[in-house]
């Protein structure tokens, strides 16, 4: 059951930190060439250097998610550098919390939808059509279990993340059978961005009382699901959603 991604090029948005960093490392360890894209080029370069030092292949790409122009630029850079991609991980996301729906500005709303939803659509269209023409590919949309248990404080984010599952279904139809498209839905994980609440006593108490695994996940625990879905072991899996959430979505 060894996963070998040798000869494949993987694009990971938001791939320089948190869950994206764990995915970038895991894909590289499985043999994939990894194109790491995020807003801070220095962070991408650091991850690329780490992968190269370990004997892998990688490239760094400055990518400010939220606009089609930036998506087109990333597509052109990856195609020029590596000849295209076989794997796309739509991982980049932002989840700012607003005081209330009334106090949510149009600018904030548009930013949340742009980063979490519009970016995934455009990149999937660009790389998905390329993969279909090449005869092979896999796309993973990284959603959130918060989309299944939304809260008023992050309603636009939850709507955008749930929208990714719609894209999973539609792109699986549009680019199949050559390209498989699936969703991974993480629950609470310990990352730099979430440490303030994921490591709080209030969350720990909630987890112990309601979540089957009674804790948040470590970033490395997302990697197995991603590697499986992009590998040939998942050759009959498309249009699916895999929850990696410690039972969070089923908790009461």
Parse the chain into domains and list their residue ranges: 9-242
Instruction: Check pLDDT > 80 for residue 230.
Output: yes
pLDDT, tens digit (0-9, with 9 covering 90-100), for 14-59:
999 999 999 999 999 999 999 999 999 999 999 999 999 999 999 9
Q: What are phi and psi for residue 186, nearest 5 degrees?
A: -75, 150
**What are the tokens at 77?**
């850079």
Active site residue 175: no
Q: Which residues of 10-30 are buried (b: 16+ CB within 10 A; e: fewer)?
A: bbbbbbbbbbbbbbbbbbbbb
Contact by Cβ (8 Å): 223, 22 = yes
* Tally of CB atoms within 10 A around 46: 14
Q: In what order do the strands lie in the sheet with 33-38?
A: 58-62, 33-38, 9-13, 87-90, 137-142, 179-186, 241-244
Domain 9-242: what homologous superfamily? NAD(P)-binding Rossmann-like Domain (3.40.50.720)
Q: Which of 75, 157, 189, 248 is catalytic?
A: 157
8 Å CB contact between 63 and 15: no
Q: Which of 18-22, 41-45, 118-122, 185-189 has the lowest mean pLDDT?
A: 185-189
Closest by alpha carbon to 117, among 162, 150, 181, 148?
A: 162
**What pLDDT shows up at residue 49?**
98
pLDDT tens string 86-104: 999 999 988 878 888 999 9
């Amino acid at each position: 059951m060894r996963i070998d991604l040798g000869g494949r090029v993987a694009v990971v948005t938001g791939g320089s930190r948190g869950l994206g960093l764990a995915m970038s490392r895991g894909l590289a360890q499985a043999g994939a060439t990894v194109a790491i894209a995020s807003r801070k080029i220095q962070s991408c370069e650091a991850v690329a250097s780490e992968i190269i030092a370990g004997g892998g292949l990688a490239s760094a790409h400055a990518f400010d998610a939220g606009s089609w122009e930036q998506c087109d630029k990333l597509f052109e850079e990856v195609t020029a550098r590596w000849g295209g991609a076989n794997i796309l991980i739509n991982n980049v996301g932002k989840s700012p919390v607003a005081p209330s729906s009334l106090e949510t500005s149009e600018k904030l709303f548009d930013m949340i939808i742009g980063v979490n939803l519009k970016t995934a659509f455009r990149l999937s269209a660009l790389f998905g059509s390329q993969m279909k023409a090449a005869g092979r590919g896999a796309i993973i949309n990284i959603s959130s279990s918060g989309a299944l248990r939304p809260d008023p404080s992050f309603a636009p984010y939850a709507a955008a993340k749930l929208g990714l599952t719609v894209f999973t279904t539609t792109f699986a139809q549009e680019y199949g059978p050559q390209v498989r498209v699936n969703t991974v839905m993480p629950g609470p994980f310990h990352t730099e961005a979430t440490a303030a609440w994921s490591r709080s006593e209030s969350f720990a108490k909630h987890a112990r009382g309601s979540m089957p695994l009674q804790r948040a996940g470590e970033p490395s625990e997302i990697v197995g699901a991603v590697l499986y879905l992009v590998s040939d072991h998942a050759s009959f899996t498309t249009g699916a959603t895999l929850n990696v959430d410690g039972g969070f979505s089923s908790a009461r």
